[in-house]
Amino acid sequence: MSLSRQLILLISSLFVLVFAGTMVMSMGNMRDYLATQLESHAQDTATSLSLSLQPNFTSGDIPVMTSMVDAIFDSGYYSEIIVEKMDGERIIERVNEVSIDGVPGWFVSMFPLDTPRRHSLISSGWKPGATLYVRSHPGYAYIQLWNDTAGTFRWFLAVLAGAIILVMVALRFVLKPLIDIEAQAVGIANREFPVLEKLPWTRELRSVVIAMNKMSQKMKRIVTEQTERAESMRKEAYEDQVTALGNRRSFDMQLSHMVSAKEEVAFGALIIVQIIEFGKYNEKYGYPAGNSLLKQVADLLKQKSEGLRDSFVARIGGAEFAMLAQDTTVEDAENLGRLVGSGLSEFKIEGMEKGIGHVGIGYYSLDLTAPKLLAEADMALKHAQVKGPNEWHMFKEENLNKADIKGAQEWKDVIHKVIEAKSVSFLFQPAKPVKGEANLHYEALARIKNEDDSLIPAAVFMPMVERLKLTSDVDKLLVEKLLDRMESDHDSLSKFSINLFSESINDSGFINWLCETLKDRKNAAKRIFFEVSEHTALHDESSFIKLIDRLKKFGAGITLDNFGSISTSYGYLSGLKLEFLKIDGSYIRDIDKNKDNQHFIQAIIDIAHGLDIKVIAKSVETDEELKALEQLKVDGAQGYLVGKPGEET
């Protein structure tokens, strides 16, 4: 076979693979979106129709209820509407056999749409009298999915045919510049979507390059749309529409994860801000003014949390806001409450001259539960209300400083002694494939000894290391210790990961040291991954990309940790050559029961797999969670269910 034919076959194959993969992912995402819409459609109808039926049900006017149900059912958008009394007697039942015209049966079988039955109660006085069940008809959704798929496929064939023709014409005249075109095609397959800025002088070859550039740009738009769809799903599920802060659902997830992730968070603060008589303000000045007030308070909380590395702000109720500040000392928490209170007092809002709100603070330490922390913050809020408008109060308890027993100077002495004596140890927690027993790698969890020889977890002493600006020294010690451990390990196939401080990543001196160290330890360098939090990676994206490239020269890899913990665009992933993506544990807890989290994670998996990045779920604690992750095709899992931290690997 001639070289030109081989090149044509190669490029065509790459196009087919890229388009086929993209089309399958797009169809999957569209199917998930339509399934969500069908579920929402059924629930909305059930809710509104039940309210409409309630007066007639109370009066026993079944014929009128039947007419109302028929009016809705005859529209053809529903496959089932049933009104059933609480004793099980069905008083109205309308069932439409599901038949889908205009869509091939094989397509329906290959892409099944979930049409769950939704329900709503019909009250009779103060008691529930009946249940209304509604199930949407999937016919129109299948037609839309089929039309979109057929249109995309026709567009794919047209573009592929045009690209092949252009390549064949160009190859007749010159082959040498095709090296760049081949590299571009490989880049497209790797989701890099390069564009050749320098066009050849040959007219025919120039046409090929232009066509390839157009192809790359169109593919980039497809991936961008996929990414934007994932971002839209995240906003809809986890973001408050008025303030753009997190909503109550995302707050509950973050709070639950904070008090459960003992290896990551040892102490922190929960700050609750409540606006004074917000309902009356809405009634007097209207909802636009009320929304404006909410946005101003939200902006204040975002501003006060900007200096915190691990913080989360949410609107948890109509007039209530919450802020989670991890790794925060008691003094910092009090100062934060004081700043928020003074910020509220600076507002000049008509109708709120006497004050805007109150601030309550609860403090978290390792032995505290989420309900207890919420209760403490609520009690503090009530004390602040007694003090007066714009006042703050922090819940106090005898063991409040348990996680922060040592002062700054004492911590400094302890950490300096650790560095000098190199007295650190590790516990190792495995990350395993969702299917199979072999380990993907072991994560090294650092420990130092207390005066009583008890081990202090990294979640306790690492924040102190950051405050004392000893991050580079500690990271050097930990990396050297781990590399020594790996070189002494007889099992040369085991791989390990270790977390790096944000400050170390941005320290050129540390990065140079790290590269020199890996250069001298080539065998161990090929078996180590460095975990960097998403917040750190996005702080200076260009420097992070350069770091990845430098470490890859020695065979070392980079893992993006706690992915999804901050609200951001996910388009930046296409520029990163990551080994693993570790999804934040807040999305994993009870994922078997949370459809929104499942849709969100599925979208992230599609994006990551398209970029050849493996996805690992953190904080996996139950069999049900693991089964749900397996169905979502997550590559690996980490958590106490998979393997607890231990000294041996």
CATH of the domain at 527: 3.20.20.450
Q: Are residues 219 and 293 in the same domain?
A: no
Q: Are residues 167 and 220 in the same domain?
A: yes
pLDDT tens, 54-94? 888 888 888 888 898 888 888 878 888 898 888 888 888 88
Domain membership of residue 84 (yes or no) is yes
Q: Are residues 10 and 148 in the same domain?
A: yes
Number of domains the chain is built from:
4
Alpha-carbon gap, residue 588 to 620, rounded angstroms: 7
Domain membership of residue 643 (yes or no) is no
Domain membership of residue 28 (yes or no) is no
Residues 6+ apart with CB under 8 A from 514: 479, 551
CA dihedral 177, 181, 186, 191 (to 10 degrees): 140
Domain membership of residue 558 (yes or no) is yes
Q: Are residues 443 and 532 in the same domain?
A: yes
Alpha-carbon gap, residue 538 to 254, rounded angstroms: 20
Q: Are residues 414 and 557 in the same domain?
A: yes
Query: Do 618 and 582 contact (CB within 8 A), yes or no?
Result: yes
The pLDDT value recorded for residue 203 is 73
Residue numbers of the domain that contains 387: 251-401
Q: Which two tokens stand for residue 291?
A: 């929304």
Domain membership of residue 269 (yes or no) is yes
Task: Out of 238, 259, 284, pick the residue that ends a domain.
Answer: 238
The pLDDT value recorded for residue 647 is 65
Q: Are residues 134 and 151 in the same domain?
A: no
Q: At which residue do the structure tokens 């390069």 appear?
A: 194
Please tell me the pTM assigned to this model.
0.60
Q: Are residues 212 and 233 in the same domain?
A: yes
Task: Out of 376, 401, 426, pick the residue that ends a domain.
Answer: 401
Q: Are residues 209 and 319 in the same domain?
A: no
The pLDDT value recorded for residue 491 is 62
Q: Are residues 123 and 175 in the same domain?
A: no
Task: Identify the CATH number of the domain in which residue 388 sits.
Answer: 3.30.70.270
Alpha-carbon gap, residue 275 to 349, rounded angstroms: 12
The pLDDT value recorded for residue 609 is 83
Q: Are residues 520 and 611 in the same domain?
A: yes
The pLDDT value recorded for residue 190 is 60
- Regions of the chain where pLDDT drops below 70: 1-8, 98, 169-178, 188-191, 202, 204, 309, 397-408, 451-452, 490-492, 566-571, 647-649
Domain membership of residue 25 (yes or no) is no
Burial zone of 290 (CB within 10 Å; 0-12 exposed, 13-18 middle, 19+ buried): buried
Alpha-carbon gap, residue 443 to 432, rounded angstroms: 11
Residues 6+ apart with CB under 8 A from 610: 21, 22, 25, 191, 223
Using the 8-state DSSP alphabet, how is residue 575 labeled? G
The pLDDT value recorded for residue 400 is 46
Task: Out of 141, 174, 209, pick the residue that ends a domain.
Answer: 141
Q: Which two tokens stand for residue 133?
A: 């069940």
Alpha-carbon gap, residue 213 to 207, rounded angstroms: 10
Using the 8-state DSSP alphabet, how is residue 557 labeled? E
Q: Is 201 helix (H, G, I), strand (E, B) or coil?
A: coil
Vertex 230: Cα angle to 228 and 234 (nearest 5): 115
Domain membership of residue 243 (yes or no) is no
Domain membership of residue 33 (yes or no) is no
Q: Are residues 88 and 172 in the same domain?
A: no
Q: Are residues 411 and 432 in the same domain?
A: yes
